[in-house]
Structure 1
Amino acid sequence: MNTIIGRITADAQVKKVSEGREVVTFTIAQNDRYRAKGAEGVTESVNYFNCSYWLGTGVAQHLKKGMLVEANGRIGLDIWNDAKGEARGALTLHVQTLQLHSKG
């Protein structure tokens, strides 16, 4: 299990998938700040996690842009080639537990 704490980038959506099942999808942006060894300044970076929550769609109405959340689940990596043949990737989180920390 991995824990991601960050802000939701857009309101969550409920999507229908095969056999009538539904999934809640949303993206979490996680900010990171660190000072590299020997560097004078602080480096800032953002990681985006595409999240899927399969345990009920009722939570979608509460997941709004800007909200601070804590999500626990399994991290994965989706890799594909785009239309130009260049390799692309995205971090995914298959959410098992979700805690809401603030309003958006």
Structure 2
Amino acid sequence: MANETYVTIIGRLTGDAELRYTPSGAGVANFTVASNARMFDKNSNEWKNKPTTFWRCAAWNQGEKQRLAENVCDALKKGDSVIVRGEIESREYTTKEGAKRTVMELRVETIGKDLRRHQPAANNVQGQNASQGGGWGGNPPAAQEDPWGAPATSNTGGGWGNGPGNEPPF
């Protein structure tokens, strides 16, 4: 398609995503992302928040094997910091009173947690491997077991790049 307007939004979910299905069985997750832009005020020499922008988003399942809508509902919850990329679409509808309305929403292509602002889960892996020593979240191996923890050797022989005729060790 031509003339799409894609944007990337960084913000927080204002609520849990709502999963719905069309009569044909296509899944869609609807949610809202609140985004706060900041600007530097030269007069006061400090950062100031601009007004919050609320983005209504729709994540559709794309194809038979892609489950974007379900994955959004399973992986994200209210307050999560997210990065969303999608296409801005306008949609028109008529209210019960007969008034015509136009809304702008983001058709989500990709979404993920913003790990710069994300808090670790309470049931993380840290401490589970402590008795085994090493592994994710466990105790680091002792210095004698860690080949990368040894101090660098001198430049007098062996090693990588220690002479004009030396070849890499592979």
1:34-77 deviation line (CA, Å, top 9, x unaligned): 36898xx9462111111111132133122211101001110123
Specify the alignment match of 1:47 in structure 2. 53
Task: Specify every segment of 5 or more residues in structure 2 that has no aligned partner in the other structure, as ranges.
Answer: 1-5, 62-66, 122-170
Maintained 8 Å contact 1:51/1:94? yes
Percentage of matched positions with identical amino acids? 30
**Which residues of structure 1 form unaligned runs of 5+?**
none
| Alpha carbons 1:78, 1:89 under 8 Å: kept | yes
Is 1:7 aligned with 2:7? no
Query: What residue in structure 1 maps to residue 84 of structure 2?
Result: 71
TM-score, normalised to structure 2's length?
0.49
Aligned length: 103
SS at match of 2:74: helix
CA contact (8 A) 1:31 1:45 kept: yes
Structure 1 residues 95 and 81: CA distance shift in structure 2, 3 A: same
- Partners of 2:94 and 2:109 in 1: how far apart? 29
Higher relative contact order (CA 8 A, sep 6+): 1
Deviation at 1:20, TM superposition (A): 1.7
Give the RMSD, CA atoms, in angstroms. Answer: 3.3
The one-letter code sitting in structure 2 at the alignment partner of 1:48 is F
Q: Please give the per-residue CA displacement for 1:72-94, whole angstroms capped at 9, x wherever unaligned.
A: 11012345576495x75543110
CA distance in 1, matches of 2:77, 2:32: 10
